[in-house]
Amino acid sequence: MLRRVSLLLALGACAHAAPVARAPIPAPPRVIVAAVAESDPTDVVPKPEAPLVTSCREVAHVGDSTSVGLMPRIEARYREVGVERFLPEISGARSMYETYRGRPNATTIVRRMRAEGYRGCWVMALGTNDPANTRGNLVVLRARIDAMMSLVGSAPALWMTSKTLKARGAYRNANMENWNEVLVAACKRHPNMRVYDWASEVMDSWFTSDGVHFNGAGNRERGARIAKALARAFPEDGAPPASCVVHSFE
């Protein structure tokens, strides 16, 4: 009987014993999401400019003494914009009408090439001697440009504005400005003609001491810029720009 009472007391003590403590379940880790700052449009890296490519696969470069310093590097510059055949016709003192020491003028060169079957593009890197020889006569310059374009026909033709650093004499810049004026006006009569505005891009530091020709830096810039202007004037994809005047950059 005593053993039974002791057993019951023991069971009762177990029933009232404190529950066994359990380790707390850890809370799930907090996920911290960093705020994403809105991108600043100025931080966007611009896409590289698409390479300039011209529709002109053949180019006849008719030039005077200001083109002599372009050789031979300008051929590589033309090839960089897609020209496959480069025909240089460059000679000192060249104009569209006058001759010098028996050398053919630009009109004779273009007439001969056309007769031989040339049908490619033209770069008329003239405009130094013609305004000097005519003393900037607007009527005569207009007639010379129109006569040359009649020989070129419908082929793409890129002409160039001119600039000198001279204030007096036949090569004074005022005569060059007359040339530039007549040249741009000619575009209205010749839709296949475009004018590269070299005069607005050339820097005074690119001239030699004579104020007419160009030093090494000037020739490097001139060659590269003529090629780019050709590609902008007569692009491979799309029609030529509506504007007569083109630049080497946008």
Domain that holds residue 85: 58-246
Q: d(Cα 58, Cα 81) in Å, to the nearest integer?
A: 11
Q: Look at residue 102 in the predicted model and tell me its pLDDT.
A: 94
- Measure Cα distances from 250 to 87, 192, 231 in Å: 27, 21, 12
**What is the percent of the chain with per-residue pLDDT over 70, rounded to a whole number?**
80
Question: Residue 17 falls within a domain, yes or no?
Answer: no
Render pLDDT for 110-159 as a digit per residue (tens, 0 to 9). 999 999 999 999 999 999 999 999 999 999 999 999 999 999 999 999 99
- The CATH number of the domain holding residue 214 is 3.40.50.1110
pLDDT digits (tens, 9 = 90+) for 192-218: 999 999 999 999 999 999 999 999 999
Structural domain includes residue 231: yes
Q: What is the pLDDT of residues 37-92, one digit of tens each?
A: 454 555 556 566 678 999 999 999 999 999 999 999 999 999 999 999 999 999 99
233: in domain: yes
DSSP run (H or E) holding 138: helix 138-152
Q: In total, how many domains does the chain have? A: 1
- Domain-located, residue 237: yes
pLDDT on residue 47: 60
CB–CB of 106/144 below 8 Å?
Answer: no
7 in a structural domain = no
Residue 3, domain member (yes or no): no
Structural domain contains residue 137? yes
